[in-house]
């Protein structure tokens, strides 16, 4: 090594670490507690708008990483989890709807998990059980586009049918109306058992 080699710029260690598969996801997951603590501190001193902004920025960061690697379902799961944990349901819903709309224009991913997470957010909002059921239906029936790198598994499809089954049989409103109908309840029950017969569905209700 020559004398002037010492003055050459060293390799960016941080860039190398972040380039490692799964590292960005790991870092984002580790931020959950710190973002939650930051938001709680801000709210404790009356800075509610700043707390909401911190959570919004975090969700935006997750969404940007999803766009860079849309085939990794971990980003969708994290986005939905963070939105529900911190009560940012409308914003989480908005990001998932953006993904659906973009995929309808240029099919790229299997929307099973996107619709499934959207259904979970509607469940937390508790203001539109029919829309929640619609999301689970869409998750159950979504088909992967041509050359999809990560189609939904049979268990993921069975889970979508299970949530549709549970939602369709739910009684809501003062009149005790059922969200779905008997035929649909039977259909989703049959499909979940067909797709994942190894699971004890009777014990899951």
pLDDT tens, position by position, 132-141: 999 999 999 9
Q: Yes or no: say if 163 and 132 are a contact pair by the CB < 8 Å rule.
A: no
pLDDT at 34: 95
pLDDT at 10: 55
62-74 per-position pLDDT tens digit:
999 999 999 999 9
Q: Yes or no: say if 51 and 35 are a contact pair by the CB < 8 Å rule.
A: no
Q: Is the pLDDT of residue 92 over 60?
A: yes
pLDDT at 14: 47
pLDDT at 85: 96
pLDDT at 172: 73
Q: Yes or no: say if 59 and 83 are a contact pair by the CB < 8 Å rule.
A: yes
Q: Where residue 189 falls among pLDDT bands split at 50, 70, 90?
A: very high
Lowest mean pLDDT among 5-14, 22-31, 124-133: 5-14
Please give the average per-residue pLDDT across 124-152, as a whole number. 95
pLDDT at 1: 47
The helix (run of H) or strand (run of E) holding residue 146 is none
What percent of the chain has pLDDT above 70? 86
The helix (run of H) or strand (run of E) holding residue 178 is strand 177-178
pLDDT at 191: 97
Please give the average per-residue pLDDT across 104-113, as a whole number. 95
7-24 per-position pLDDT tens digit:
555 556 545 544 555 688
Q: Is the pLDDT of residue 127 over 50?
A: yes
Reported pTM: 0.86
């Amino acid at each position: 090594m020559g004398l002037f080699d010492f003055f050459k710029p060293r390799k960016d260690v941080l860039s190398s670490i972040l380039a490692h598969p799964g590292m960005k996801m790991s870092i984002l997951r580790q931020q959950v507690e710190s973002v939650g603590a930051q938001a709680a501190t801000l709210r404790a001193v009356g800075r509610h708008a700043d707390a909401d902004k911190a959570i919004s920025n975090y969700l935006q960061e997750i969404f940007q990483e999803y766009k860079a690697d849309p085939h990794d379902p971990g980003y969708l799961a994290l986005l939905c989890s963070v939105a529900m944990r911190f009560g940012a349901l409308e914003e989480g819903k908005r990001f998932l709807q953006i993904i659906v709309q973009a995929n309808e224009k240029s099919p790229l991913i299997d929307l099973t998990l996107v619709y499934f997470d959207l259904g979970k957010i509607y469940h937390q909002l508790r203001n539109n059980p029919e829309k929640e059921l619609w999301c689970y239906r869409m998750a159950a029936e979504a088909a992967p586009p041509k050359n999809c790198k990560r189609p939904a598994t049979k268990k993921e499809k069975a889970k979508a049918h299970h949530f549709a089954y549970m939602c369709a049989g739910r009684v809501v409103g003062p009149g005790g109306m059922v969200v779905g109908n008997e035929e649909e309840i039977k259909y989703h029950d049959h499909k979940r058992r067909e797709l994942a017969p190894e699971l004890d569905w009777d014990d899951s209700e």
